[in-house]
Structure formats: C-alpha cells, structure tokens
Structure 1
C-alpha cells in the first residue's frame, strides 16, 4: 500500500435493515484527492446471495441511512458539495428522487425515526445571532469577542460550542412525489439548552423524545443525565435514575415494548470527573424510573465503540459492541436476562441492525477496511467486498498476533507485520493514542503503508490500553512512562528475539497523541532508536491544563493534581536527555493537544542540539491521520516515509526518497 492508495479505503457505515429483513442499506465513503474531501453514496445489499449489492444514490456524500419503521421511506444525510453541510433527505424505499427536508446553516448531525414513520427527530447546532454567517457581511474575524466563564467551551474538531449548542428538532416527513418546488417542511425546536443535547430517540409510543445532556449550570464535572421531552414540545424533564455516583450518559434508547430504557454510561466517582479507565456500561432501567441494572461487566467490558449505537432486537433486547483484547464483539443483552455473544474472534464489528428476522453486521478485519455480512446460524455470511480493489492493487499483509512478557511477567499482547523477503528488516515500534484505546485486528492504513515501504511494524496494547479490563487501564494512573514504557519495550525485545528477520540495529519509534507522549518519554530514557516521530503529542501536562479542550481535567485525573507531579511526568521536562533525531508533526487547529505542545517540544530539542523537524498542517485538527483532508493525509505519509528513508533506508524506501 502506497500513500496514493488512500482513495481505495472504503469505509462502510452501520447498516439499516428493511422491516421485511430482505435487504440492508449502508453508506460507502472514501477519500477523494480531486475534491480533497470524502465522497460516497448509499448501497443496497440484498439478503439473497443470488443478487448483487448496488449503488442507489448519486449524491456527493450520502451517509447515515435509516429505513422508516413501516419500510416505505429511506432517510439519510446528504452533502451535495465538498464545502456543504449535511442535510436530511428522504426517498421512497423502492427508489426515486431524494427530497431534501432541512436547510440548517450548520447542517444536521444525527437523526432518528418516530415509531409511526411520520416524524424525524434530528440534532443540529443552533448558532447565536451574529455568529457563523448569521450576520450578512460579517466574517468570523470581525465577530464580537467571546466572554468565557466556563471550563467547557470548545472541543476538538468543532471549535467553540457554547455559542452554537447542539439542539434537537422534530420535522414532519412530507408526502413523497410532490412538486420539486414545494417549500421545506418547518422543523420544530425541541430543546433550547446552553450545552449540547445528545442524539434524540423517540419513546416506543412516539409521544416523547429521550436524550442525554449535562445538567444546567454544571461545568466542573463530566456528568450528564437522561432527559425526556414531549415530542410536540415543552420543557425537558430529567429522568429519575437512582444512581449512587454521577454518570456520563452516552446514549439512550427505549425498548420496543416501552417497558425498559437502555442506556450506555460511564461511572465518574464521587468527584464527577473520575473518568480514567472507566468502561462504558449498558444499563437497563424501568421506563417509569428506578435503580439501573448493569447488563455488562464494568470491570472487564467496554461498550463505547466510536460510531456505534444501541440497536433494538425484539421487544426487550439490545445490541451493543464491546472492545475486547484487540477485537470488537457484538453482544445481545436482554432487559430480563438471556445475554448472548453473537460475533467474536478476529473481527472488529462496526455496527449491527436487526429487522424481519435478519441480523446484518458491518465489520473490518485484517483484509477489509469495511464490509457487510448477515448472521446465519451463528456464522457470518459475507455479502459485500468493498476492499476488493484495494487487495488487487496492493499486497495487504495480514498481521501476526503475538504476546511477550514484560520484565515483571505481565503479558503484552499485539501484532507484527513483516515485509516480504528474508530481511533483516528495520523495525518501527508504533504506539497508539488514548491511552485508554486499543489497536485492533482491523486493517490499518498506517501499518500497511510502512510494511510496503520495507519496515517490520510492531503494534501492541500496553498497560493503560482499553479492551483488557479496568485494572489493565488503571495501571499507569499517576505513573505515565513506567509500566507502559516497559511493556512496549518488552514487546519490541520479545519480537527481536523471536524473529531473526528483524534488524535489532535499525529501530524507529513513533506514536500520536498519548502515543506521542510515550514516544517522547521513551527516547529521553533510551537511545537505541535511529529516529523518532512524535505526532500530535501530549508533551507538556503543565501548559496542557490551560490550553487543551480537555485540559481542565485530563492531566489532574491521569497524572495527579500538583504542579510538581505534572512536571515530573512531562516529556518536555525530559527533552535535555533526548539524543534521537525527531520529526514533530502537529496540526494548526488541534484543540485536543494544541499546537503549542509540539512547538515547545520542537524548540526544546533544537536548543539541545538534537536534529529535529517540525511539520505543521494548516486547517487540520487532532484527527488528521484518520479523517483529515485526503491530500494532507497523503502528504503526511510522504513526509513520514521521507523521514524514515533518511535514517532507516530500505530497498522500497531508499535514502533519496523525495519530499512530499
């Protein structure tokens, strides 16, 4: 895989299933270099294996499909140009011309159908008057100043939030097939909150909408609550949850029989900020209120998987995803018992939906970036092959799963990818962010590009990672750079000892976010690496507190409250010990790990005489490597390969590799 092959990475959305179970619809999107954006359309995927999947829309970017409960209408989000915001569209389920039914200035983010198939609740940011283009002729830099009085007022990827809180709206779905010039239906605003409302979902009888939001005047904690608001409008009322400690509610959904409320939340301890290694739990509570019952193990299971939602199956059962030791599983959990593990093993499930007796599952694994399957007799029957072109134009390398012991005997689990040939191959030790996330078995463009350039790639989930239980995640609280550093180095040494084709004399180390932290910390204490890449790093916990969107709580909860404790765990404070040539990569609009983190670290290395470069991407945020502009993602890879070619040249990536 080469940088230019990014455009072959097809991402597949969670499915929506027609009520008769005969077919599912997914959105398939991919990077587009020409428009420098992400483009994609909707595909229908029949259950009948004699019929082929086919594209059913032709918009620039069509995403988030959802059938109406009666099966007559398909709703989805459409952006009709690279610079346009997504709007809500509807189309007849059997085909026709899509009809746009919203015209929101800042676009529509999420939506959900009512049980009667006549209404849709959607979320959209509502800007203050005079901001974000609401005042004609007033550019952003000419707007009035912002007077800040809260900790929480912006977030990475979104910017300021208090002047454009996410609100909920309900819109009547018009009769399809009408005149194209008909006016848009008027959406009624359900919430008028000072903070963001979560995704709304209708109650089983359609009379109300549930959502999660932070309590009014709550700013010094991470707690949120479940609210219920009449679908016709009115004041939201907090749902009665008899919980002992504050929770951060991520999503809420009422069961189809109306008896139960399912919701996903993290406990936050008595302070309301104790988020470290807190697994997300699926809870169930009677719809009338009461004491929640955890349906998943808060110590060993984590059901907060990005992009996934609570899906319903039958009258009182929920489908959720679980992070599990480098995989993502599909679970079915009943309000009154009867839990089942439906999909597990060497896959990362990304979504699931059930209707008409058919359970469709979207997933990724070592050989696909995204595909759709149906669960037949407990086995997945694959229905699509959206990564076929990627496999025919590149040589996808399947990772080898390995485990090595740390010095204290603790097992460190991960994967090795090796290039073709006998070697010896230079080795790149790649460290993930978080730290409470995990590398998975899913195809990773990062690893594939590096192995194609002639590098053996090592990826592991050291202590501090998610997917291995809460104790595993808590192991480094207050002790960054201890067990986590020992784990990644033990994983490296174990692989070097076991596999003679790996060149112990030619090592590189790299990582982003927390992975940037651990890379910077490691090269201050070990000088065995020929070069390093520190990307979007958490590099100075002291200044992080006042500059990052999560800085007001992250460092204190993970590292400790005192300035001395924070400084003692700061890679910036260890910069004088670094000898390794280092490429620092950062994005201008990164609010999670602000640009100053990379700038100050780069400057400190330069002052110490370390060979260093600073690569800054304009217009990008913390998600550059995952969802940044396609051309920037390609250029990022080209710069990275050029850096490795200087210090770890290979036949496939020689020392004269040109700059991007």
Structure 2
C-alpha cells in the first residue's frame, strides 16, 4: 500500500439489521483527498447472497444507521462538508431523507424508543456567547474562562464545562405526510416560524453539569437510562453511574446497585423483557481513580434495583458495548482477547456463548427478530466487511476492500509468540515485504498502553512493508487482551517489563527469520508507543534511527498540560517526584544517541505539543540528529482520523526519515 492509496481504505460501521432479517445497513466511509475529509454513505446488504449490496444514500457523510423496532423507518446521522452531524430519518423502503434535528454542535448518538415513534439523542449544548452562538463573536473574542476544575478539556473537543452533552427526545413525524413549506412574503412577516421549518422540536431532558452518554429506553418506553457523573465530588474522580429519567421529562434518579463500588460505567441497556438492566463498567479501586489496565465487566441487576452481578470475569475478559439485545434477557458484547476482538452472547442467567472468535476484529453486530445475526468485522484482508452468522459459521456478504487489494499487494501478518527474558510469553506479528531479504526492520510500538495490536489489516504496517521494511509489532506487558495482571504489570514500573518484552520479541523475530537484517533496525511508536520508543533509545543503542510520535515524554509537565494529566501520570508512574523521574524519557534524554524524528500535532490535548517540543530541544542541544514535524490543526488522533492530506504527508515524512537511515530499493522518497 502507498500513501496516495489512503482513499481506498473503506471503513465499515456496526450493522443495523432489519427486524425481518432480510438485510443489514452499514455506513462505508473513506478518506477523500479532494474534500480533505471523510466521505461516505449507507449501503444496504441483503442477507440473501444471490442479491448484491447497494448504496442507498448519497449524503456527504452518512453514518450510524439504525432501524426502528417496527422496521418501517431507518434513522442515521448526516454531516455536510462544513457542518456537524444531524439526525435524519427515511422510510425503510426508500425515499427522501427527512432532517430531525438542528443542534448547534451536532448530534453525538441516538436510540429508538420501543414504540418506533420517538428517538432519544445526545447533543452538546453550548453556553450562550460561546462556539458561534452569537453572530460576530468569534472564539478569540469570547469572554474569558475562569477554571476551578480538574476536568475541563478533552482532546479532539476542547473545553467541555461550557458545552455539556445532554439527552433529548424528539417525536418522529409521519413520513408520508406533506412536507412543511417555509413561509414567504407577507406570511413570513405575519407568522414568523418558531424554529427551522420542517424540523420537529426536540425536548431536552437533562441539564446536569456532566456529559450524559449512552441513552436507551426502558422496555415499555416510559423511561430513559443514561450514564453520567452527577455525584458530589465528581470532578475529583473517574466515577460514572447509571441514571434514569422519565421519557416525558423530570429529575434524573440514580440507579444505584445495593453493592455499589467505585466504577466507570460505559454503557447501559434494559433487557427486551423489561426484567433486567445490563451495564458495562470498569472497577476503579478505593480511590475512584485507579483506572490502570482495568478490564471492562458486564453486570446485570434487576430493573428495579438490587445486587449488580458480574456476568464476565474481570481478570480474563475485557468486554465493551454497545449492548445489543439478542433475546428477551441477553445481550451481545465485544471482548478484547489475544490480539483479536470476539463477539459474545451473554444472558442474564446462564452461560456465555462465543459467537465469533479467532484472528478477527469484530466491529459490531445486531440480531433480527427471527434470530438472524449481522456482523461487521475486519481481518488481515479487509478494513471492514459485513457477514451473516449462521449456525456458528460466518458467511461473508460484502467486499469493501476489493479496490485496495486489487491495486496494491497486502502482506499477511505472521502470528507468533516469543518468550521474554523472565519467561513471560509475548504475542505479536511480523509483516514482511516482497523479496527474499535481508530486509531492514521497524519495531513498531502501540499506544495506550492498555491497548493492543491485532492481526487485522493495519494501514501503517502495509505502507511500511510496501516500502521494503519488515514490521515487528507485539503486545508487551501493559497491553490489553491478555488479562488484567498482564496489563497492570507496568503500574508504577513503566519502561521496565514493557521494554524488556518488546526487545525480547524483536530479538526472537530477528533470530527466527533469516529474511530480516539484524544490523539495520529502526524503532517507532505513538503516544505510549512514543514514550516507550524514547525510553528505549536512551537504554539500547542498536537502532539506526527512531520516530517518537505524540509521546508521553515528561510526566511532570504532563500533569499540568494534558486533558488527562490530573490523574493519568499519578496512576501509571506514581505521584512522587522520584517515581516520575525514574520513569521519564525527559530525565534520560541525555543518554540518547539515536537519530530521532519527533512528530506532534498543534492541537493535541492528550499529549500536548510541549512534550514533543521540549524533547526535540533536548536532543538538538546535545547534538543528536533530530527534526520536529508539527501538524497544524490536528490533535492526538492524526494517524487515525486526521485530514487525509495530513495523513498522507505524515506517511511521506516518515518514509523519508527511514530512507535516510534505512534505505531500501522500494522506498523511493528522497530523504
């Protein structure tokens, strides 16, 4: 894969299956160089393989499809090139989409009511005078902000306390009715419209000083459940809880388990039979802030309250939503496991059933009334496709990555396991370029650290392999998917077992594959991967060059500059100056000799740009060959969701750096 082939990367959403089980709808989104953003539409995918998938909308970017429970209406989000996502509905049989919202900051997510006549959604409500709510008052002319809280910013969003996300409900009108007509002439003066013509008025249900997430209706539609942090002292911990509010309005009520403990709740869903309340959460220890490597747990409790029973093992399973009903009293969840993402069916009472497992990454799944299951997934040959699940077997229904495969050679990741120096197993992959070698090697380290590499198609590894590099990537201790003990092993020990593991995996790859050139090795990583790259090159000088991207490089300044700095470093490195220094790449930067490219984004609030600037300055002042590549307008997510042109430029700069220190015949970019 070449950097200029980014527009061939078709990403697929979780599927929305029609209640009758005949078809599923997904959004298919791709980077577009002309628009310099992401474009995409909705596709209808018949479960009958004699019929072909087809595009059914023609919006600029349509996403998040969801059928009404009666199957008559399809709801989705639509964005124009300049605007925020708004909620639209269209008859399931086809027709002209009708806009349902006119939210100033756009709609973040939504859920159908069981009666198919109402939709709950979340949207940010900006304070008057901010974010363009007053004509002529630009962001630089707004009133100053007086900040007294820990939690006041978020990467990719900016300030949060003055634009909280709230829950709304909107009535879905009869779609076959006559469309509204905007008054003109004397009618416009005599009867000024109360709002945007043709868009129904939405009712705001929540007003609390917290972001409200994951709305879902009760089985009878009379109440809405959601997740928020409305407790006293919520600014000093990471605790979120389940709340309930009448669908017609009123004061939210805390849904508190009888065995409550500090947790971050991430999703909630009432069972279809109305008896149970499912929710996913991570424990937070006694402090309410110990988030390090906490696996997601699925809980269930009686709908009226009582004991919250964990349905999944907190040590060995790491589950997440969205929680999709799969029967009267069961849900589908995703499980991060061993470099894959599985699909599990979990009943309120009974045993867990694995539905999809192996070397795949499940994106999402939904179940029809007749039991048909549609699954979106990725693997080594696709960025995302749709399959049906029949008697435990997947039947592929789409081929959205055909254009990528037909126009470039994709290298299949080779799965293998190595042994760390203390005997601990380390799992990962090797992606090889064409030819017999010996190939220069790039050791690539993932972010997180509680995240994982998988064997699914990864654009980064494919671009580097196409340029002639063998890519080594693994999941060292600190990573997700291998149990909580594996993830928590580096708590207050960053740069110890994790560095040991990645170097042991690299050594095993070099020893076990003669096609690799053990004398020509580079190292690279982003976020936590940037941390471990910077830490490693201060302790191991074998690498010809390094790339440190959006790194967590100084725990001390991170505490005051990052959106998560008020808790992240304290929990991972420990809070004393001695602990921070003992695990800080900045504290050992003077030992670095490796030529290093530092990559950062100006709007990164997760690992602020000062982290990269200060690290670059330290290397430059001591004579290390270094460069600082800074992207304007981008945040921490540049490599995944940055503008297409910037993503292409990033690849090209990275390849130029490797061409300088690890030249190959296939890397034709001039250093």
For 1:458-492, what per-residue CA distance to the aligned partner results, in whole angstroms no more than 9, with x for missing partners? Answer: 00000000000001001111111111001000001
Of 250, 254, 279, which aligns to 2:270? 254
Instruction: Give runs of aligned pairs for residues 222-621 of structure 1, distance below 5 A.
Output: 222-304=238-320, 308-355=321-368, 356-621=370-635
State the Cα distance separating 1:439 from its structure 2 match. Answer: 0.2
Aligned to 1:101: 100
For 1:253-302, what per-residue CA distance to the aligned partner results, in whole angstroms no more than 9, with x for missing partners? Answer: 00000000000000111100011111010100000101111111100111
Give me the whole-angstrom Cα distance separating, in 2, the residues matched to 1:495 and 1:422.
15
Structure 2 residue matching 1:525: 3-state secondary structure: coil
For 1:53-86, what per-residue CA distance to the aligned partner results, in whole angstroms no more than 9, with x for missing partners? Answer: 0000000000000000000000000012x22111
State the Cα distance separating 1:658 from its structure 2 match. Answer: 3.5
Aligned to 2:74: 74
Give me the whole-angstrom Cα distance separating, in 1, the residues matched to 2:623 and 2:260.
54
Give me the whole-angstrom Cα distance separating, in 2, the residues matched to 1:512 and 1:338.
39
TM-score, normalised by the number of residues in structure 1: 0.98
Aligned to 1:37: 37
Instruction: Give runs of aligned pairs for residues 116-265 of structure 1, distance below 5 A.
Output: 116-177=115-176, 178-179=178-179, 181=181, 183-217=198-232, 218-265=234-281
State the Cα distance separating 1:377 from its structure 2 match. Answer: 1.2
Cα RMSD for the two superposed structures:
0.8
Give me the whole-angstrom Cα distance separating, in 2, the residues matched to 1:313 and 1:409.
41
State the Cα distance separating 1:244 from its structure 2 match. Answer: 4.4
Give me the whole-angstrom Cα distance separating, in 2, the residues matched to 1:483 and 1:253.
39
For 1:307-362, what per-residue CA distance to the aligned partner results, in whole angstroms no more than 9, with x for missing partners? Answer: x5110011001000000000000000000113200100010001000012210000
State the Cα distance separating 1:245 from its structure 2 match. Answer: 2.0
Structure 2 residue matching 1:494: 3-state secondary structure: helix
User: Structure 2 vs 1, CA of residues 289 and 324 (structure 1 numbering), >3 Å: closer, same or farther?
Assistant: same
Structure 2 residue matching 1:199: 3-state secondary structure: strand
The runs of 5 or more residues in structure 2 that have no matched partner are: 182-196
Contact map agreement 2:432 2:465 (CA 8 A) in 1:
yes
Structure 2 residue matching 1:6: 3-state secondary structure: helix
Between 336-345 and 34-43, the greater mean CA deviation after superposition? 336-345
Structure 2 residue matching 1:309: 3-state secondary structure: strand
Give me the whole-angstrom Cα distance separating, in 2, the residues matched to 1:368 and 1:160.
36
Structure 2 residue matching 1:50: 3-state secondary structure: coil
State the Cα distance separating 1:179 from its structure 2 match. Answer: 1.3
Q: Report how many residues are paired.
A: 653
Give me the whole-angstrom Cα distance separating, in 2, the residues matched to 1:619 and 1:243.
46
Between 174-183 and 531-540, the greater mean CA deviation after superposition? 174-183
Give me the whole-angstrom Cα distance separating, in 1, the residues matched to 2:227 and 2:481.
25
State the Cα distance separating 1:500 from its structure 2 match. Answer: 1.0
TM-score, normalised by the number of residues in structure 2: 0.97
Moved over 4 A (4+): none
Give me the whole-angstrom Cα distance separating, in 2, the residues matched to 1:275 and 1:422.
45
